[in-house]
Amino acid sequence: MSGFGALLRRDLRLALRQGSDTATVLAFFVIAVSLFPFGVGAERETLAAIAAGILWVAALLAAMLSLDRLFQADYEDGTLDYLLAAPAAPTLLVMAKALAHWLTTGLPLVILSPLLALLLNLPQKAYPALIAGLALGTPILTLIGAIGAALVLGARRGGVLLSLLILPLYIPILIFGVGAVEAAATGQGFRVHLLLLGAMLLGALALAPFVAAVALRQAAE
């Protein structure tokens, strides 16, 4: 666990020092959401009806922007070989890098989402479902993305391949995340949607680090 903490602190320092990934993700999220009122019209009822889908799709696409670089820098400079040879299990390596990625990209999306929800006239009673859904869903996006990033490591046009691999797997997360917000907006219960997202998160935590670790070992050989 000491290796986990050291790697997490290292990745967080690198992310905060550079800042480009976080800024790119947040800028894309804001711009993508802001474009919809110009494209579909500024009618409050229309925006409110599609706000949940807009916010979730924009957050999903924004979270994907930096996934192809999750392991790329360490792979290119040889650090990945050193990390895989360290006493810490490769699964802890994947968990540490995934957590650092979520803290610097996923968490800011969760924090920023209520402000953009105001722009889309999302009913205030749906805000808890939006925040809770993104808080559960964005870590799943990162964990699934870690598998894809490990599989395409070293491949040409890795970003395109990564999108093709993981976008189909993101569909259930999108369905339940949007469903939770829409249910809350109409006054219905959204607990079931959040429970399903929570179950998916537990499944991703249990499986994704092992699958990604195997893919990393194959890429390093």
pLDDT digits (tens, 9 = 90+) for 72-85: 777 777 777 777 76
Distance CA 57, CA 63 (A): 10
Q: For the ranges 14-18, 47-51, 96-100, 108-112, which has the lowest average pLDDT?
A: 14-18
Helices of type H across 41-126: 44-64, 72-77, 79-85, 90-101, 107-119
- What is residue 197's predicted lDDT score, i.e. its pLDDT? 95
pTM: 0.89
Which element (helix H / strand E) includes 203? Answer: helix 191-220
Mean pLDDT, the chain, as a whole number?
86
H/E stretch holding 143: helix 127-151
Which position has the token pair 């040889």?
78
* Residue 10 binned pLDDT confidence (cut-offs 50, 70, 90): confident
In this structure, what token pair is assigned to residue 35?
């474009």
Which residue range(s) make up the domain with 79?
A: 2-220
pLDDT in the model for residue 158: 64
Smallest CA-to-CA distance from 61 within 87, 10, 25 is with 25
pLDDT above 70 for 86: no
Give the sign of the dihedral formed by CA 66, CA 212, CA 139, CA 8: negative
Q: Look-up: residue for tokens 């490769």?
A: 90
Of the candidate ranges 3-7, 114-118, 193-197, the one whose mean pLDDT is the lowest:
3-7
Query: How many structural domains comprise the chain?
Result: 1
Tell me the C-alpha distance between 50 and 213, whole Å.
Answer: 38
6-10, 18-22, 133-137: least confident range: 18-22
Where is average pLDDT lowest: 1-10, 106-115, 140-149, 176-185? Answer: 1-10
Name which residue leads in pLDDT, 92 or 52: 52
- In Å, the largest CA–CA distance within the chain is 58
Q: So what's the pLDDT on residue 87? A: 57
Q: Which residues are CB-neighbours of 14 under 8 A, at least 6 positions away?
A: none
